[in-house]
């Protein structure tokens, strides 16, 4: 397969302004008849080349006349046409049941549904399947009435009827022009939850949530979240919903989280269904976030869409930023910010360091589905956030307003967005634009010096972006760097003659930036990168004392958390390097800091919960050049153990302080449950007296999944003998509920035990395991490969081989999911030589496979380069 390049963009040769589609649904033989109005775009003689894959072509007519003079290939249908305006009618046949790729039209648990982004519409009919072709759609669906009472598509239902043979039909019309990737169709037998939302201008919108039969009670949280999102977008961005109806359908077989099809979102049921008993606080949180995300796409993605797929971050980075702001406003801003940053540090930094490194606006793509990445999404959101920081909230809003007034109804580029931001505020973003074309994680090295005699303090910021697999030469970036200087009492130093100090922000643009402060009594403590104001790594030689000061005194809660993580990381890396000669002074100051954090728990439980958690193995891995798997893993455990045992009384107090109340998903209770389960896991790890009694009591009494799973995780991590028995009880109780059973599978796959590779095949032969179900595959293979450190990185290579074996099986079933779970293997660069070899060996094995999907070819070939 050949790569497409961003620089090769050309406007389409033809445009389509209207499509009329008829679907005669049948499990193996669905007939699709699409009638499109074309116009030639510009003066040229080029043929009409339509995209299409896996389609059985039945007939073609132009302006009602049958056509036979066309050329069909695996991916295209080419027609020579002289007219400039014409109507093309194409009939095709497709097989939804055989479609295991879950792209195009497929069958999920007895219902038909579609997934067209990025290039799935071409699996439904021959079309100009590219986001810059915007058309209005009329869609008529025919199917058996008893089995498919609900038949949905985008826009408004305008007509319906019944046929004599037991079938019925429904006609939908979408008044908005849209690209084909936003097309959707659903047909099935669902339970329906309805509600209304009245917009700020007084229009009443019908809200409809379709779920599996019997799951109605689990839909209330999703619907409430939707209403919150609708109100929030009006308040914060002045954006109102634009159709009379908003539908959400939950399906069990889905490749990712959800899809923002105009007026008809299709969701992975994981991000819709929740009740106290079966869903955790995290699930409730994620549902609100994903419902928000898809809703916000209605403006950032649907009303203004992408010109081409290289511009994906235009809609995704912006929409992730919007959902992050929404979540922050719904609960604790600092806790949310920490979550965002953890994703960047665990996964995005790893992607930058891997063979798959790419800028947020990629330059070259073989399979677009491979670029729905943490870089495009989450680093993309960080880039938007930096503009928000540079322009201020009001300036950013002006930029957004201008963006919509300029581009509503159009397919545009990332440059168009930045230009709107710049034009609305007159802030020069020319250098800033490099964030779109440059990959990699910038490093800012901070050094300082203080002259006690003169009271003069210099602090230098030096930026540098190391080369990445895709790009050797890097330029200086425009980096908003928030910070403050703390004096010895912990007060923020202000000095009107130093504008960066008053602003608490430096805009780094050149390689080195120096600030000088005079008249100081003592060397200050720089508290750096407040609020993680840029997606970078900061290097500064903090003393232990300075970190403790920041934890106690910084005015930025994020910086306090960050300092706690730095302190833990330092202890862990130190112990990893010299396990036999621990630095007692360092460990003592860390333990003292933790003591202090217990006091924060009363004032700010959300912040304390995050500060009492150690950096993950993935985060720690991105702090070193070469990962020493066992050493790092055991050092992390030892430090955790030290905190658990030394402070076991405090953990016990903290545990018992948390009142047990009937489950509600409200911020205070969520924070309290988090502290309680964190304490439980430290107590169990310390083997504290009565800890297993406490644990068993919690398991027996829990009225909610958060506390129940808290027990299982603590028992698993603490390697308690009761673990297997608890898991059995859990399985018996929940085997009928796929979303809960996924948690059970994931817990098993995550177990750090020496026989894990013997146990995994047992899991995969479980009667409830199926390669066809992406959630299940992710919960077993994904959890293992991403999070089971010792198992996946087993030094004999058995973990790598195990993953590769299943990737090869998945390749022919669902290439998208296969290409996603191969990610840990593509990150071989950071491991020791032996593991690098073993990982590459498995990649080469995959590369050798016949009939490898484009998705895997792209990832494997980059990885072996």
Residue with tokens 């895709």, as numbered in its chain: 470
Binding mask 120-149 toward ligand B3K (x if CB under 6 A, else -) reads ------------------------------
Gap between the Cα atoms of 115 and 108, Å rounded: 11
Number of residues that bind ligand B3K (CB under 6 A): 12
By beta-carbon proximity to Zn ion, the closer residue of 293 and 573 is 293
Residue number with CB closer to ligand B3K (293 or 358): 293
Q: Among residues 117, 252, 484, 556, which is the contact residue for ligand B3K, using CB under 6 A? A: 117
Instruction: Map residues 691-720 to x or -, x wherever contact with ligand B3K holds by CB under 6 A.
Output: ------------------------------
The interface region with Zn ion, picked from 313-321, 391-399, 510-518, 772-780 by CB under 5 A, is: 313-321
Residue 369's binding partner out of Zn ion, ligand B3K, none, with CB under 5 to 8 Å set by partner kind: ligand B3K
Q: How far is the CB of 258 from ligand B3K (least distance, A)?
A: 6
Residue 293 is a binding residue for ligand B3K (CB under 6 A): yes
- Rounded (5°) CA angle 300-305-307: 145
Dist. CA 844–CA 860, nearest whole Å: 8
Residues 196-215 binding ligand B3K (CB under 6 A) are none
259 part of the interface to ligand B3K, by CB under 6 A: yes
Sign, CA torsion 462/468/471/477: negative
Q: Which of these ranges, 254-262, 466-474, 706-714, 817-825, lies near ligand B3K under the rule CB under 6 A? A: 254-262
Catalytic residue selected from 103, 260, 294, 484 = 294
Among Zn ion, ligand B3K, none, the one that 223 touches (CB under a kind-dependent 5 to 8 A) is none
Decide which of Zn ion, ligand B3K, none touches 564; Cβ closer than 5 to 8 Å per partner kind: none
Beta bridge partners of 56: 93
Residue closer to ligand B3K (CB basis): 369 or 574: 369
**42 exposed, middle or buried (CB, 10 Å; 0-12, 13-18, 19+)?**
exposed
**Strand ranges of the sheet holding 245-251, from the earlier edge strand across to the other edge:** 191-198, 204-211, 245-251, 264-268, 258-259
Dihedral pair phi/psi, residue 315, rounded to 5°: -95, -35
The span from the CA of 222 to the CA of 274, in Å, is: 8
> Which partner in Zn ion, ligand B3K, none is near 249 (CB below 5 to 8 A by kind)?
none
Interacting partner of 841 out of ligand B3K, Zn ion, none (Cβ under 5 to 8 A depending on kind): none
For residues 774 and 791, which CB has a smaller minimum distance to ligand B3K in the complex? 774
Rounded least distance, CB 319 to Zn ion, Å = 5
Cα separation of 143 and 297, whole Å? 30
| End-to-end Cα, the chain, rounded Å | 16
CA angle (477, 482, 484) in 5-degree steps: 140
Residue placing its CB nearer to Zn ion in the complex, 328 or 591 = 328
Angle among Cα 488, 492, 496 to the nearest 5 degrees reads 120
| Calpha distance 792→784 (Å, rounded) | 6
What is the nearest approach in angstroms of ligand B3K to the Cβ of residue 90?
Answer: 25
Handedness of CA 145, 147, 153, 156 (dihedral sign): positive
Does the CA dihedral 610-613-614-617 come out positive or negative?
A: negative
Q: Contact region for ligand B3K (CB under 6 A) — 21-29, 252-260, 548-556, 773-781?
A: 252-260
Comparing CA positions, the residue from 132, 113, 236, 239 lying closest to residue 181 is: 132
By beta-carbon proximity to ligand B3K, the closer residue of 270 and 293 is 293
Q: What is the smallest separation between the CB atom of 316 and Zn ion, expressed in angstroms?
A: 5
How far apart are alpha carbons 591 and 608 in whole angstroms?
Answer: 15
**DSSP, res 524:** P
Judged by CB under 6 A, which of 283, 294, 352, 367 binds ligand B3K?
294
Cβ contact 667:331 at 8 Å: yes
User: Is residue 744 exposed (0-12), middle (13-18) or buried (19+ Cβ within 10 Å)?
Assistant: buried
The whole-angstrom separation of Cα 654 and Cα 633 is 27
Q: Please report whether residue 372 would count as binding ligand B3K according to CB under 6 A.
A: yes
Residue 369 binds to ligand B3K (criterion: CB under 6 A): yes
Q: What residues between 317 and 336 interact with Zn ion by CB under 5 A?
A: 319
Give the span between the Cα atoms of 146 and 157, in whole angstroms. 19
Among Zn ion, ligand B3K, none, partner that 130 touches (CB below 5 to 8 angstroms by kind): none
Name the segment binding ligand B3K (CB under 6 A); options: 257-265, 588-596, 760-768, 792-800.
257-265
Q: How far is the CB of 229 from ligand B3K (least distance, A)?
A: 13
Nearest distance in Å: CB 368, ligand B3K = 7
Q: How many CB atoms lie within 10 A of CB 569?
A: 18
Residue 117 interacting entry, from Zn ion, ligand B3K, none, C-beta within 5 to 8 Å by type: ligand B3K
Q: Is the dihedral of CA 271, 276, 280, 281 positive or negative?
A: positive
Q: For residues 297 and 674, which CB has a smaller minimum distance to ligand B3K in the complex?
A: 297
Helix-, strand-, coil-residue percentages of the chain, each rounded to 5:
45, 20, 30
Return the H-helix or E-strand segment holding 422. Answer: helix 414-425
Q: Which does 676 bind (CB under 5 to 8 A by kind): Zn ion, ligand B3K, none?
A: none
Pick 258 or 469: Cβ nearer ligand B3K: 258
Instruction: Please report how close the Cβ of residue 110 comes to ligand B3K at its closest, in angstroms.
Output: 23
Candidate ranges 293-301, 568-576, 612-620, 713-721; the one touching ligand B3K (CB under 6 A): 293-301
- Determine the Cα–Cα distance for residues 149 and 77; give it in Å rounded to an integer: 35
Footprint on residues 601-660 left by ligand B3K (CB under 6 A):
none
Judged by DSSP in three states, 29 sits in coil
Told to judge if 75 belongs to the known catalytic residues of this protein, a careful annotator would answer: no
Residue of the chain from 118, 133, 344, 756 that contacts ligand B3K (CB under 6 A):
118
In terms of CB distance, is 319 or 369 closer to Zn ion?
319
Strand arrangement of the beta sheet that strand 48-51 belongs to: 48-51, 76-79, 70-72
- Closest contact distance (angstroms) between CB of 176 and ligand B3K is 17
Where does this chain touch ligand B3K (CB under 6 A) — which range of 290-298, 423-431, 589-597, 652-660?
290-298
Provide, rounded to whole angstroms, the least separation between the CB of residue 182 and Zn ion: 12
Of Zn ion, ligand B3K, none, which one does residue 352 interact with (CB within 5 to 8 Å by kind)? none
- Segment contacting ligand B3K (CB under 6 A): 251-259, 520-528, 560-568, 646-654? 251-259
With contacts defined by CB under 6 A, name the span among 289-297, 335-343, 413-421, 801-809 that binds ligand B3K. Answer: 289-297
Dist. CA 258–CA 250, nearest whole Å? 9
What is the 3-class SS of 838-855, one letter each residue? HHHHHHHHHHCCCCCCHH
CB neighbour list of residue 280: distance below 8 Å, 6 or more residues apart: 704, 705, 706, 709
Nearer to ligand B3K, 305 or 677 (CB): 305
Which residue reads 């930096």 in tokens? Answer: 386
User: Among residue numbers 319 through 338, which ones bind ligand B3K (CB under 6 A)?
Assistant: none
Pairwise CA distance, residues 525 & 545, whole Å: 9
The footprint of Zn ion (CB under 5 A) covers 316, 319
| Residues classed as catalytic | 294
The footprint of ligand B3K (CB under 6 A) covers 117-118, 256, 258-260, 293-294, 297, 316, 369, 372
């Amino acid at each position: 397969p050949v790569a497409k390049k961003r620089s090769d963009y050309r406007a389409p040769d033809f445009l389509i302004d209207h499509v009329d589609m008829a679907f005669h649904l049948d499990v193996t033989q669905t007939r699709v008849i699409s009638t499109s109005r074309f116009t030639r775009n510009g003066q040229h003689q080029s043929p009409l080349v339509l995209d299409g894959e896996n389609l059985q072509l039945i007939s073609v007519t132009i302006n009602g006349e049958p056509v036979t003079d066309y050329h069909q290939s695996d991916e295209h249908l080419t027609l020579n046409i002289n007219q400039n305006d014409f109507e093309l009618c194409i009939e095709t046949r497709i097989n939804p049941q055989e479609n295991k790729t879950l792209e195009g039209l497929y069958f999920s648990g007895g219902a038909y549904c579609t997934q067209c982004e990025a290039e799935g519409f071409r699996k439904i009919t021959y079309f100009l399947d590219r986001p810059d072709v915007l058309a209005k759609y009329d869609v008529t669906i025919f199917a058996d009435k008893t089995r498919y009472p609900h038949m949905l598509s985008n826009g408004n239902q305008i007509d319906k009827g019944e046929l004599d043979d037991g079938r019925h039909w429904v006609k939908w019309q979408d008044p908005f022009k849209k690209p084909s990737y936003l097309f959707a169709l659903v047909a099935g037998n669902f339970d329906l939850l309805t509600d209304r939302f009245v917009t700020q201008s007084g229009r009443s919108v019908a809200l409809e949530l379709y779920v599996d039969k019997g799951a109605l009670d689990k839909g209330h949280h999703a619907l409430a979240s939707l209403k919150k999102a609708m109100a929030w977008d009006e308040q914060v961005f002045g954006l109102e919903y634009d159709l009379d109806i908003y539908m959400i359908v939950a399906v069990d077989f889905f490749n990712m989280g959800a899809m923002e099809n105009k007026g008809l979102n299709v969701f992975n049921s994981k991000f819709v269904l929740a009740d106290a008993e079966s869903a955790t606080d995290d699930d409730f949180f994620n549902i609100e976030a994903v419902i928000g995300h898809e809703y916000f796409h209605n403006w950032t993605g649907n009303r203004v869409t992408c010109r081409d797929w290289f511009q994906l971050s235009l809609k995704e980075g912006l929409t992730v930023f919007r959902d992050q702001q929404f979540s922050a406003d719904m609960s604790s801003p600092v806790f949310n910010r920490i979550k965002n940053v953890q994703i960047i540090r665990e996964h995005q930094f790893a992607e930058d360091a891997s063979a798959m490194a790419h800028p947020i606006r990629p330059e070259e793509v073989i399979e677009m589905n491979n670029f729905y990445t943490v870089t495009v999404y989450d680093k993309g959101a960080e880039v938007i956030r930096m503009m928000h920081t540079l322009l201020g909230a009001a300036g950013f809003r002006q930029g957004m307003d201008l963006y919509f007034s300029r581009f509503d109804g159009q397919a545009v580029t990332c440059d168009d967005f930045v230009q709107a931001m710049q034009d609305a505020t007159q802030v020069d973003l020319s250098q800033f634009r490099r964030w779109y074309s440059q990959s990699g994680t910038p490093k800012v090295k901070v050094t300082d010096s203080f002259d006690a005699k003169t009271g003069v303090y210099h602090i230098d910021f030096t930026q540098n972006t190391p080369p990445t697999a895709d790009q050797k030469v890097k330029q200086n970036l425009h980096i908003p760097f928030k910070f403050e200087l703390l004096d010895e009492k912990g007060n923020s130093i202000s000095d009107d003659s130093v504008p960066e100090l008053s602003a608490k922000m430096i805009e780094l643009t050149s390689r080195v930036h120096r600030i000088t402060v005079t008249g100081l009594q003592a060397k200050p403590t720089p508290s750096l990168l407040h609020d993680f104001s840029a997606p970078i790594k900061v290097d500064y030689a903090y003393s232990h004392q300075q970190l403790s000061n920041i934890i106690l005194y910084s005015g930025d809660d994020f910086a306090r958390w960050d300092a706690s993580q730095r302190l833990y990381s330092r202890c862990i890396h130190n112990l990893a390097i010299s396990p036999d000669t621990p630095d007692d002074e360092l460990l003592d100051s860390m333990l003292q800091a933790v003591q202090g954090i217990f006091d924060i728990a009363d004032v700010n439980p959300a912040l304390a919960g995050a500060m009492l958690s150690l950096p993950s193995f993935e985060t720690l891995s991105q702090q070193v050049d070469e990962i020493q798997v066992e050493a790092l893993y055991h050092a992390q455990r030892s430090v955790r153990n030290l905190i658990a045992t030394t402070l076991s009384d405090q953990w016990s107090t903290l545990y018992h302080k948390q009142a047990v109340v009937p489950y509600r998903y409200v911020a205070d209770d969520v924070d309290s449950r988090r502290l309680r389960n964190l304490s439980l896991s430290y107590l169990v790890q310390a083997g504290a007296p009565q800890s297993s009694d406490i644990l068993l009591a919690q398991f027996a009494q829990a009225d909610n999944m958060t506390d129940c799973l808290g027990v299982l995780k603590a028992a698993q991590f603490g390697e308690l003998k009761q673990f297997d028995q608890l898991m059995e009880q859990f399985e018996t109780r929940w085997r009928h509920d796929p979303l809960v059973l996924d948690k059970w599978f994931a817990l098993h796959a995550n177990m750090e035990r020496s026989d894990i590779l013997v146990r995994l095949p047992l899991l995969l032969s479980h009667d409830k395991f199926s390669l066809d179900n992406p959630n299940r595959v992710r919960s077993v293979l994904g959890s293992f490969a991403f999070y089971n450190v010792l198992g996946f990185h087993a030094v004999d290579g058995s973990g790598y081989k195990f993953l590769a074996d299943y990737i090869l099986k998945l390749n022919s079933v669902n290439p998208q999911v296969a290409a996603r779970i191969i990610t840990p293997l593509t990150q071989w660069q950071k491991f020791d030589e032996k593991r690098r070899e073993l990982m590459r060996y498995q990649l080469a094995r995959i590369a050798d496979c016949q009939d490898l999907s484009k998705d895997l070819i792209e990832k494997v070939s980059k990885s072996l380069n």
